[in-house]
Amino acid sequence: MSRDSHATRRTERYYARFPNTGSEGNQRLANVERFLELVKQLHAHYHHQLDTALVSTHKFNKCQKYFVQALRTLAPDYKNLMSLSQFEELIKTADTEATRDLDDDDDFAMSLIELFLFNIQNFRLLRHYVKMNILSTLKQLPQSLETDSQRRVREDVEVLLSSWGILLALDTDLQRLEHPNKGDITDSFKDEHERNYFEGVLSLMPKLIDLANKMDFVLTKYYLKTPLNSV
């Protein structure tokens, strides 16, 4: 069977969901068309916000080696910077200590930690947007009108959000993370413990980028594969 024949049968099965009952059937079909347009608009906003976040991560990647030096300056033994909660606590402590007297190196190091957390927060906001706006909208479509492809996309979105949430959890052990694209780390490492630590922390951002890009691709499939776009 040809590809066009498959598309025709898929379209016929889809329109069978809307019985020929005059204005009622037409209204239901119109509602679904408006629903798909809403999903497309929500996705477009997500895509725009993702592009902005990626520009920021690119800027961070350009000063990655200085970030590594900052970690060495602020946490020589690494024990106090194993999770995002500890990174955030470091910033809070520095901000609330009225008597703190940082030299230029420490001040620069702290600014890089803040830049790191700023990028993490961007991905936290992206995830929140998908969960509260896009996924909640996808769940509003009655299952009787949902195609198999749309159902799979909705389920994929839920899986990606779960993985995304684990990465952003405040207690996630960053040292255990691993990603092949950690950037060009030219610094020499004192030992295996130091290597594991830096590679773990530097794996967080590319793993978040991967998830965000996968989400972008999955959402595109939701409305591009619907039979409404095949006729």
**pLDDT tens readout for residues 168-226:** 999 999 999 999 887 666 556 778 888 888 889 999 999 999 999 999 999 999 988 65
- Structural domains in the chain (count): 1
The range of the structural domain enclosing residue 145 comes to: 3-229
- Whether the per-residue pLDDT at 16 is higher than 60: the answer is no
For residue 16, the 8-state DSSP code is T
Four-residue CA torsion sign, 89, 95, 101, 104: positive
**Do you know the residue count of the chain?**
231
pTM metric for this prediction:
0.84
> Looking at residues 91-111, what average pLDDT do you find?
70
pLDDT of amino acid 230: 45
Whole-number Å distance between alpha carbons of 211 and 1 = 36
Within 13 Å of residue 179, how many CA atoms lie on the same side as its CB? 20
